Amino acid sequence: MDKPAARARPAARVPTEPQSAPAASGKRPRGRPRKTLDERDDGNRRVELVNAAARLFHKKGFDATSTRDIAAAVGMHSGSPFYHFKSKGALLYAVVDEGMRSAIARQTAVLQAAAQAAPDPSALLRVLVHNHFDVLLGPGSDFIPVMLYESRALTARQRASLAKLRSDYEAVWVPVLEALTRTGRLKAPLKLARLLIFGALNWSVQWFDARKDASLDDLADAAMALFLQAPCSS
Amino acid sequence: MDKPAARARPAARVPTEPQSAPAASGKRPRGRPRKTLDERDDGNRRVELVNAAARLFHKKGFDATSTRDIAAAVGMHSGSPFYHFKSKGALLYAVVDEGMRSAIARQTAVLQAAAQAAPDPSALLRVLVHNHFDVLLGPGSDFIPVMLYESRALTARQRASLAKLRSDYEAVWVPVLEALTRTGRLKAPLKLARLLIFGALNWSVQWFDARKDASLDDLADAAMALFLQAPCSS
DNA sequence: CCTACCGATCGGTAGG
DNA sequence: CCTACCGATCGGTAGG
């Protein structure tokens, strides 16, 4: 069956009083009502598709998710996602891109707040680690897991753009890790340390269960205890 | 096109001198030649299929690999893998099962050798870590990466069997990590430490390049330096 | 954004 | 293990 489930169609989409104000003039605003509202609507549908795609790609994987699944999840018919995205792969890239930009924005925000309060590098690392766990495991966090585990389907060009974003995200960690190496609290070679640390964090997507396991703070504490040498002087 | 590539068909499969000895008697060994040889042949074909499946599942992912791809890789026609395996999922489970049994066997072997030479827990961890990297990244290591990153397609029953094998593999690490915790060289809570450590190691599948990066020994050294507190007394 | 549709591909099977 | 095939599903498109 191709009919979308009746469930997700938002009430706002039902054509209630469609052109209340425009109807008064009777001529000018025909084919398209006010431009701003129209664009906002289009944007919302697009955002809905990206959100549904993120959730389904995370839950079932990119290949196992059909564009029909995504359409049905937002109450569209099977061909309609291709009005907003030219291919399934473009939808995947939208998820990945949105996820990285959001992650970078959040990272920048928490780090700025922390750098003013306490410029201690171990405190900064703790903030980075906690934010990373939050981006991976917090509420509504489907985008970065998709980026981490479903990027194989991207084209070479898309992968190159993604590599730039990942590099931006990771670059912030480097001076913090360097400072910790200088003070002897981090022992492994910098590049390998970074890769191993990201692995430890990213793998949590595979096992973390918010209902059963520890809190994100517990996770961050454990990671800090594992990676850092205890403060030497005492 | 459905014709398999002419490439991988082993010369031994070409029906050259099919029943040299049996032809002498002319009666007894009809429908099936000697049983042992026949079974060995079947087993080899089965093993070839599992090896090809492991390589392709690792390279392209389970969903993106067709059973036709696998058949072609071993010089079979498109329907023939189903003579050996009743479904594509059964082939995936064969890969995962074989990978875990091999990993456990290798782990047992290296650990027994190391435990006699030096029962120091940090030396044992180093052996476990190095073996783990070797299983993940060493030559012919497609099975465990498939297990780690493609198991989602398994049935619930298969996943339960796999969980048992994974638990067997991980159980060996626990006493070693406990000993290191007791001597203060491992600081994080045991369960979280184990999960974070496995994450750091398993993630290497995503970035390690044998041509460019460090050796497996370098990796193991870096992991030990990162995870363990420096020996306290000195 | 829907309707109606297409070509391609896929997992799997019967029958030998 | 091959031959010949099937039903289902999928990404995508034309035309409105």
**What CATH number does residue B95 fall under?**
1.10.357.10
Burial of A86 (0-12, 13-18, 19+ CB in 10 A): exposed
Burial of A197 (0-12, 13-18, 19+ CB in 10 A): buried
In a domain, A127, yes or no: yes
How many residues does the structure list for chain A?
Answer: 234
Asked if the Cβ–Cβ distance from B189 to A153 is below 8 Å, we say: no
Measured in angstroms, what separates residue B148's CA from nucleotide D12's C1'? 33
In a domain, B192, yes or no: yes
In a domain, A2, yes or no: no
Cα–chain-centroid distance for residue A58? 11
Nearest to B203 among A61, A198, A226 (CB): A198
| A47-74 pLDDT, tens digit each | 999 999 999 999 999 999 999 999 999 9
What is the C-alpha to C-alpha distance for residues B55 and B66, in angstroms, rounded to an integer? 13
Q: Which residue of B has its CA nearest to A228?
A: B226
> How high is the pLDDT of residue A115?
84
What is the C-alpha to C-alpha distance for residues B135 and B125, in angstroms, rounded to an integer? 15
Asked if B153 and B89 count as a contact pair (C-beta separation under 8 A), the reply is yes
B189 contact A CB<8A:
yes
- For residue B149, list chain A residues with Cβ-Cβ distance below 8 A: 149
User: Is it the case that residue A135 has pLDDT exceeding 60?
Assistant: yes
Number of other CB atoms surrounding residue A26 within 10 Å:
8
How confident is the model over A130-150, as a mean pLDDT? 97
**Among B196, B217, B234, which would you mutate to test the A interface (most chain A Cβ atoms within 10 Å of its Cβ)?**
B196
What is the C-alpha to C-alpha distance for residues B231 and B121, in angstroms, rounded to an integer? 12
How confident is the model over A222-231, as a mean pLDDT? 96
> How high is the pLDDT of residue A5?
42
Asked if A1 and A72 count as a contact pair (C-beta separation under 8 A), the reply is no
Please name the residue whose C-alpha is nearest to the C1' of nucleotide D9: A66
In three-state form (DSSP H/G/I as H, E/B as E, the rest C), the secondary structure along A37-53 is HHHHHHHHHHHHHHHHH
Between B99 and A11, the more confident residue is B99
To the nearest 10 degrees (0 to 180), the angle between helices B121-137 and B190-202 is 40
Asked if the Cβ–Cβ distance from B61 to A152 is below 8 Å, we say: yes
In a domain, B8, yes or no: no
Alpha carbon distances (Å) from A1 to A4, A78, B37, B57:
8, 10, 51, 31
How confident is the model over A122-144, as a mean pLDDT? 97
User: Is it the case that residue A165 has pLDDT exceeding 70?
Assistant: yes
- Residue carrying the six token digits 């290798």: B106
What is the C-alpha to C-alpha distance for residues B40 and B29, in angstroms, rounded to an integer? 17
Asked if the Cβ–Cβ distance from B225 to A197 is below 8 Å, we say: no
- The letter for the amino acid at B220 is A
B201 contact A CB<8A:
yes
> Above pLDDT 90, what percent of chain A?
75
pLDDT along chain B (234 residues), means of 10: 41 32 32 35 85 98 97 96 97 98 97 88 97 96 97 96 98 97 96 98 96 90 97 62
Q: Left (φ > 0), alpha (ψ -120 to 50) or beta: where does B184 sit?
A: left
CA-based nearest residue to A53, from A13, A81, A83: A81
Measured in angstroms, what separates residue B5's CA from nucleotide C6's C1'? 29
* Domain of A31, in residue numbers: 20-227
In a domain, B71, yes or no: yes
- Structurally, how many domains does chain A consist of? 1
Beta strands of chain B (E only): which ranges? none
Nearest to A199 among B186, B202, B225 (CB): B202
Number of other CB atoms surrounding residue B190 within 10 Å:
15
Nearest to B196 among A63, A193, A222 (CB): A222
CA-based nearest residue to A9, from A66, A72, A68, A59: A72
Smallest CA–C1' separation from A80: which nucleotide?
Answer: C1
Give B106→chain A minimum CA distance, Å.
Answer: 23
In a domain, B141, yes or no: yes
CA-based nearest residue to A213, from B166, B195, B202: B195
Strand D-proximal protein residues, Cβ less than 7 Å: A 65-69, 78-79, 82, 86-89; B 2, 4, 13, 42, 45-46, 71, 75-80, 83-84
Alpha carbon distances (Å) from A93 to A58, A90, A159:
13, 5, 9
In a domain, B105, yes or no: yes
Asked if the Cβ–Cβ distance from B198 to A198 is below 8 Å, we say: no
